[in-house]
Amino acid sequence: MRMSQTIESANTNDFLNIAALDRVAWVHTGEAFIADGEHVWRVWCEYGTLLVSRNPPEDPLLAESGDIAGALVMFTTNHQEQFLHKIMVHPQLRGQGIGTQLMQAALAAAQVPVLLTVDPENKAAVKLYENFGFSVRRRIEGYYRDHEHRYLMVYHPPAAKNL
């Protein structure tokens, strides 16, 4: 990671830049992707767990997203767990450890189990999450559409092992 980047909680003024990052972060997948709306990013900035990695604002790589190089958003479920909805890094800044630092910061702060979903065919992502301490809770057939299956994975922070 570049020395000038920092991981911190997003503030309410960050939502437009995070929404812009969301629109460019998934182009590489080749899938039809619907970015989360600006309105929900505004709500998550204030009420969710939303961490950002910041670069200097003058960094030309981040023209779309201001100083936001990466972001991670989690929210509380109705079962009092955290759901890791999204972790994303600007395409021009991948491979510098930004995603790892965002994930480490989120998991270090977790007081309850953290959930996420992942495509079971995405072996690299499954392995990555396992390396962070996640395990498969269950496989869900047709999670989004009939052909889109998911693993529901869970991370138990040390403080939540007995929950």
pLDDT of the residue at 31: 61
Domain stops at, among 60, 91, 122: 91
At 144, the pLDDT band (50, 70, 90 cuts) reads confident
Residue 105 lies inside a defined structural domain of this protein: no
Q: Burial level of 128, CB count in 10 A (0-12/13-18/19+)?
A: middle
Tell me the average pLDDT of the chain.
87
- Residues 50, 130, single domain; the answer is no
Q: Is the pLDDT at 101 greater than 60, yes or no?
A: yes
- Residues 10, 83, single domain; the answer is yes
Domain count, the chain: 2
Averaged pLDDT, 81-98: 92
- Residues 82, 17, single domain; the answer is yes
Averaged pLDDT, 22-26: 86
Domain stops at, among 63, 91, 119: 91
Could you tell me how many residues make up the chain? 163
- Residues 11, 77, single domain; the answer is yes
At 60, the pLDDT band (50, 70, 90 cuts) reads low
Domain hosting 35: range is 1-91
Strands (E), the chain: 6-9, 49-54, 68-76, 82-89, 114-118, 135-140, 150-155
Domain stops at, among 31, 64, 91: 91
